[in-house]
Structure 1
Amino acid sequence: MAKRDDPEIIGRRVQRLRRERGLTQRQLAEPSYTPAYVSTLEAGRVRPSDEALHHLAGRLGVAFDELATGRPAHLASGLRLRLTEAQRVLTDGEAEQAALQYAELLAEAVTHGLVDEQATALLGLGECRLDTGDLTAAREHFEHAENTLATASLPARVPARRGRAVAHYLAGELRYAVYLLESTLDEINLAGLHDPDALLLLHTALISPYMDMGAQARAAQAAELALALAPQAGDPALIARMHRSVARTLLAEGRIAEADASLAKAAEMYHQLKIRTELANCRWMRGYVYAQKGELSRAEEELRAALAMLDSRRATLYSSQVAVELADVLHRRGASEEASKLLRGVLGGLSPERGAVHSAAAHRLLGIIAEDAHDTEAAEQHYLRALGLLERAGAAGDLADLCRLLGDLLRRTGRVEAALDAYRTGLGHRTAGTTTLGPAPAQPLL
């Protein structure tokens, strides 16, 4: 229940409404209370009970909340409808427009002390900033939302916690993102707070950082738990996101047909929900599936479509990932010059603090292109830059692969000892992906 105003404020409100309606204190009080009680209440010398406020509200013809808090009738429900509209604008890919709407709604919610609506607006602002790539602002909005809900249950705070983790993940802080998500899972499961939507949100969010850290067994387990939770969850957009994330673990296991089926489910749900940005992400992943199957023409078609959808909506970090995938396909199709131009554009929009893993992927592919062109010096420089970015991010899985590429290059140029060092480093990173994460989070009661 929302916090009431002080007795003095309520008293003045009752007096004003009574006079506007032409009622005496006796007419307002009867039959349940005395004129003296109403006089004392209007003077602010007594804190009215719920029963007294309900009686007075009924006599004055106003809602209980309006009498207790001064908020206009249906204010909260009206704000919630407008928050839903802002969410629709965001899902259509118009992040900047949605941010303006959320900011206006946040100000109104603060003015009227509507805590849940404040948190919803802050979550929306955080998602807008994730889409536009402003990770610092996104993290601040999510932290503010979590603080606003400080007295709420832990499951109610999970969307804000998940938002913080995604912001850290996209900034290249993989280990901290995993810590936030795993520790929240432990708190929920150990307390017996079985909330399917909250658990599904957390397990789904863990898949990508697990994969980037080389912890494929953990990623597969998170995907398995997410699939088990999906029938109990009530948010179709969340279920669709789960199918898209699970597809990544299936691809890593070589289960391409199952991954394709999972993406088809996600795409169908996003189409029904009209979530444009996520539809673009599904086309991106389907392009990746086609590339894995060697169907490069279809892969290019899907990836170009995804990139056009994301670019038109300024989804910077997501479009960078798609651009790297498209560049890989273009290089494999013999269009290395176009691929290089695309990758340099990616690097121009990123930094070590913003999209480190994506920057590393661009440098890795530029290194491969340079090596194929027999420019070993440029290839080595790109590999080393990628290595530094991935080490900072803790992306052990990608580090192991990169060390192998660097080792092969060094070996071919006659630097055998340096190549052996690179291979040993890669083996160390591959092991680190599964041995430095600590115990797995407690299991939910499914």
Structure 2
Amino acid sequence: MTGQGLIGQRIKTVRRQRGLSQAQLAHPELSDSYVSLIESGKRTPTPAVLELLAHKLDCSLTYLVNGVTAEQMQEIELNLGYARIAMENGEVTEARTRYAEVLADEGVAGLPHLRQEAEYGLALATEACGDLDGAITLLNTLRRDDAGTMSPERHVAIVVALSRCYREQGDLGQAVEVVEQILGGAVRPAWTNDLVKLGTQLLAAYIDRGDMLRSRQFAAELLAAAELIGNPLTISWTNWTAAIVAAETGHNDEATAYAERALAVQSEQEDPRLLALLRSDYLQVMLLARPAQADAWRDGLERLQGELQESSASTINKLRCTMNLVRAELLLSRPEQANEHIRTAYAILDGMPQALQAEARMLLCETLAEVGMQEKALQEFHRAEQALTHLPSTRSTAHLWLTAAQVLERIDEPARGADAYRRALACVDL
């Protein structure tokens, strides 16, 4: 039955419950024939008529439009609010449960806007819990089933999250494809804040795929679009992604300038959560671009680690911060401290994406080699190797195999080291 048919049916049901005839309901503002047409679904009442009928029937307008009483509506909105708060506070498991409870409420089916928000929130909470497969399924279902009713802004937000999940999972082909369906046409749509944010996800996928020439070209296009739009958050996003491209291609001065601009712009905004995440990213780039100043970056990462524990940052972001702290300690030749930090990372490793697990295991392998625990380092390498073998051939995977080769050489395993070098080259088609 169509939406207007359902409205007419509700009007008819409530009218009969009130003991009114069509003529009594219509008088004096409407004709009984017009009420009859509405109830049969042959006429769509205007908002003003709907409001009038709700008043005459002594029921809520929400019920006539959506089949949900005012009390049900209030309860759904309240529960949705609790889910948002849990997500903002970093209680991602709680948020996942609360979003699922909202969707289990029968009343939400008649409230497409709130249902879409709950489904999108559930997908983000699922991603934050490390369940990328589950998040991808939810996002694809939402994108497919609600394509005709959701706003363009919501659609772009879903594709941003979907591309990010595919990239974290290592499926770079899909990470690129879902974005290029929007941005990759013969005529690119006019840039907006949302589309630039989508573009940064595409750029991240290009970087992971090792397409550095396209990355530098696209980064320049995004920077120009952001400056033209003038939105501070958009400028911060694009400078940050440009910093990653510059660092990955060895342009360290550029990387530093872009990263500092991104951080400076974001510092002027009243969003401590985003600022904390950007500081984490900034310190990661600085470790790569300015390794000689690792002591300063280490101090910053230690402070940030404490802040993230009290924030709404996802488990993945907290894990990345800890891993960067390990790298800083290794650069400072402090393997014992690095070993303490990597053990903390291991405590939250279960359920994380396969690529992130492989990265953390290789970091532990490197740390164990540095403290002279060669046998344990080799054991950890075997665990990391199992994860690496199942990863797609990407630039990141090549870096991990290269690290493995260097560690194996250090613990006097030249044959295995040579094999790791060959695997690293194979990842970049060499």
Within 2, Cα distance between the matches of 1:105 and 1:236?
A: 34
8 Å contact kept, 1:103–1:125: yes
1:126 equivalent to 2:151? Answer no
Amino acid at match of 2:108: T
More displaced 10-residue stretch of structure 1: 361-370 or 67-76:
67-76
Structure 1: distance between partners of 2:369 and 2:213? 32
Shift of 1:32: 5.0
Equivalent in the alignment of 1:328: 327
- 1:11 is matched with which residue? 12
CA contact (8 A) 2:355 2:391 kept: yes
Query: Structure 2: how far apart are the matches of 1:200 and 1:131?
Result: 23
TM-score scaled by length of structure 2: 0.77
Quick check: 1:58 aligned with 2:52?
A: yes
Q: 1:221 to 1:84 in 2, by over 3 A?
A: farther
Question: Are the equivalent residues in 1 in contact too, given 2:394–2:428 (CA < 8 A)?
Answer: yes
Quickly say closer, same or farther: Cα 1:61–1:299, change in 2 above 3 A. Answer: same
**Matched residue type, 2:318:** S
Which residue of 161, 182, 194 maps to 2:159? 161
* 8 Å contact kept, 1:161–1:180: yes
Q: Which residue of structure 2 aligns with residue 440 of structure 1?
A: none
RMSD: 4.1
| Superposition map of 1:26-425 within 5 A | 28-30=26-28, 32-33=30-31, 35=32, 38=35, 40=36, 44=39, 46-51=40-45, 54-55=48-49, 57-58=51-52, 61=55, 66-72=63-69, 86-87=83-84, 90-99=87-96, 101-107=98-104, 110-111=107-108, 113-152=110-149, 155=152, 156-186=154-184, 189-190=185-186, 194=190, 196-230=192-226, 240-252=236-248, 253-254=251-252, 255-265=254-264, 267-268=266-267, 271-274=269-272, 276=273, 278-291=274-287, 292-293=289-290, 294-313=292-311, 315-350=314-349, 354-373=352-371, 378-380=376-378, 382-383=380-381, 385-394=383-392, 396-407=394-405, 422-425=420-423
Deviation of 1:80 (Å): 7.0
Decide whether aligned partners of structure 1 residues 60 and 251 sit closer, same or farther in structure 2, where only a CA change above 3 A counts: same
- 1:175–1:394 Cα contact (<8 Å) kept: no
Give the C-alpha shift of residue 297 in structure 1: 2.6
- Alpha-carbon shift at residue 149 of structure 1 (Å): 1.3
Measured after TM superposition, the shift of residue 284 of structure 1 is 1.4
Report the Cα distance in structure 2 between the residues aligned to 1:391 and 1:233, rounded to whole angstroms: 43
Cα distance between partner residues in 2 of 1:56 and 1:120? 26
Q: Give me the identity figure in percent.
A: 21
Q: SS of the residue aligned with 1:295?
A: helix
CA contact (8 A) 1:28 1:56 kept: no
Per the alignment, in what secondary structure is the counterpart of residue 393 of structure 1? coil
| Paired AA for residue 307 in structure 2 | M
Label 1:74 to 1:217 Cα distance change in 2 as closer, same or farther (>3 A).
farther
**Pair 265,102 (structure 1): closer, same or farther in 2 beyond 3 Å:** farther
Whether the 8 Å CA contact 2:354–2:391 is kept in 1: the answer is: yes
Stretches of structure 1 lacking an aligned partner (at least 5 in a row): 433-446
Determine helix, strand or coil for the equivalent of 1:287.
Answer: helix
SS in 2 for 1:261: helix
1: distance between equivalents of 2:371 and 2:46?
84
Shift of 1:85: 7.4
Alpha-carbon shift at residue 327 of structure 1 (Å): 0.7
For the residue of structure 1 that corresponds to 2:210, the secondary structure is coil
- Tell me how far 1:391 sits from its aligned partner: 4.3
| Partners of 1:412 and 1:124 in 2: CA distance | 46
Shift of 1:339: 1.1
Q: Unaligned stretches of 5+ in structure 2?
A: none
Residue 110 of structure 2 aligns to a residue whose secondary structure is coil
1:310–1:366 Cα change, 3 Å: same
Cα distance, 1:199–1:84 mapped onto 2, change above 3 Å = farther
Task: Figure out how many residues of one structure are paired with residues of the other and give that number.
Answer: 418
Structure 2 distance, partners of 1:81, 1:190, is: 45
CA 1:90 to 1:348, structure 2 compared with 1: closer, same or farther past 3 Å? closer
Q: 1:432-443 alignment to 2 at 5 Å? A: none
Q: Structure 1 114/236 Cα, relative in aligned 2: closer, same or farther at 3 Å? A: farther
Q: Is the 8 A contact 2:393 2:428 kept in 1?
A: no
Measured in 2, the distance between the counterparts of 1:220 and 1:12 equals 63
